[in-house]
Amino acid sequence: MKFRRFLVPLDFSECSRNALGYAINLARHLEGSVEALHVWHTPYFVQPDMVLSLPHRPPVSIRDWVESRALEEMESIIQRCPSSEVRVTLRLEEGEPEPEIVRRALQVADAIVMGTERRSGIQRTLLGSSTEKVVRTSAVPVLVVPYDPIGEQPH
């Protein structure tokens, strides 16, 4: 199996930015591509089509507001990564993050590249880990990038 198409879930944390940098470096060396995926989850008490009114701005649906903010953040992150030689695409999905990551990976990726946060045992047990859930449920290989990596820095 050749690894040329990488899916990187972005939650805008430092560890996900780090994973994106590593995926871009891998794609550069393997002549591959990267898809950065942000999955946003609507709380049960909010309807995505509800209208949000902000001072000095026209009303906008919560879905449109969240998506525009997420795209702005993703574009900002991509601009700071060394991606000129690598095709990086952006994708937004609405839903539960882990199942959406696994579903999207089956469609477009040879590997998922995810970061992991530094957590104590009790935090990991109580809070769970998106990375752990994806590793357990994905049929696509998952590369887990440590929070404090040793070696080539992505930025």
Q: Rounded CA gap, 155 and 21, in Å?
A: 6
CATH fold for the domain made of 5-145: Rossmann fold (3.40.50)
67-111 tens-digit pLDDT: 888 999 988 888 877 667 899 999 999 999 999 999 999 999 999
pLDDT of residue 127: 43
114-145 tens-digit pLDDT: 988 766 555 554 445 888 899 999 999 999 99
Domain positions in the chain: 5-145
- With a pLDDT cut of 70, the percent of the chain lying above it is 86
Q: Rounded CA gap, 153 and 48, in Å?
A: 38
Q: CA separation (Å) from 143 to 7, 19, 118? A: 10, 9, 16
Q: Rounded CA gap, 47 and 134, in Å?
A: 27
Q: CA separation (Å) from 77 to 53, 64, 123, 138? A: 27, 20, 27, 26
Bridge partner residues of 144 (DSSP)? 114
